[in-house]
Chain A
């Protein structure tokens, strides 16, 4: 009976932790109820695995523990399922996410199941160790679960572009057909009608990295595409299918390492534009830290 109490509290804690983490990333999956059902169920399985480990060890069922650990390896599938889904949807995006962003999202979804396992394991251990009554036990379990979920999601929280770079508005200008921002050529816009749209509604931003590490991170092509995609997703883009002139572009100034983003947003609001850029996540796969190397330090 005592095992049942432990199992239920720990599984619930892990499941709630997964639910909490799911709530935070709705931006990556807007209006996706089926996805929620899938991830909550997989998170529930993870939570159950974490919860069962403690009673299995107490009962000296080491074979069961081995099987549970084996079951945990199934969560690798989550990553490939996410990747496949996002890659299949990529052709329906006006502005592509890019493979690096897809990989980052898939990795996060896999990792969150492991976090659910950690939370339920911690709660199961706490429920077992606490000697008091049922209500005291529940209170301790809630505290441990909350603390674990808060700690883990804090540790897993990555930087945003605003943390590693200054973002400011820049002026876009045309040199005949060449669309430029501060002498960096972004693209060649051949039609006068398209140039007029840029002059009238276009916005440009300069993203200035805050140091060599940020500079190397922002130089990643996947990160550049992620900025274009996320800003378009957040503030909307003024384009239709096949209008390649208006696809948001991120280009890099090789001498300064600054990025320039040019786009035609659906609403002309520079503050929202800059805020959207600052809130783009820094992709885990794009992070580079040249300053931790000897050669990198010599250059700084």
Chain B
């Protein structure tokens, strides 16, 4: 999950949000759908990982 398109790339599915609030909300929804945990990379990017 990212807001800034320049910060992310690569093979994993990437979701973009329009702001921090939407970013956290979508991250929560995705985590619930996937049964996964949200991790914060402290640079505005959230990764959703199923452990």
Contacts and interface: CB of A to CB of B under 8 A. Distances in A.
Interface of A: 176-177, 188-194, 241-242, 244-245, 247
Interface string B1-40: 0000000000000000000000010011001100111111
A176 B51 contact: no
B2 to A, nearest CB: 13
A244 B40 contact: no
B40 A190 contact: yes
B50 A176 contact: no
B21 to A, nearest CB: 11
A244 B24 contact: no
A189 B38 CA distance: 7
9 contacts: A188-B39, A190-B39, A190-B40, A191-B24, A191-B27, A191-B28, A193-B28, A244-B35, A244-B50
Given A191-B27, A191-B28, A244-B51, A176 B40 contact: yes
B35 A242 contact: yes
Prevailing SS type, chain B contact patch = mixed
Interface of B: 24, 27-28, 31-32, 35-40, 42, 46-47, 50-51
Contact of B39 (A177, A241, A247): A177
B38 A241 contact: no
A192 B36 contact: no
Contact of A244 (B27, B36, B42): B36
Contacts of B51: 244, 247
Contacts of B35: 241-242, 244
Contacts of A245: 37-38
Nearest to B46: A190
A192 B20 CA distance: 12
Contacts of B37: 189-190, 244-245
A126 B35 CA distance: 61
A239 B9 CA distance: 33
A46 to B, nearest CB: 42
A177 B40 contact: yes
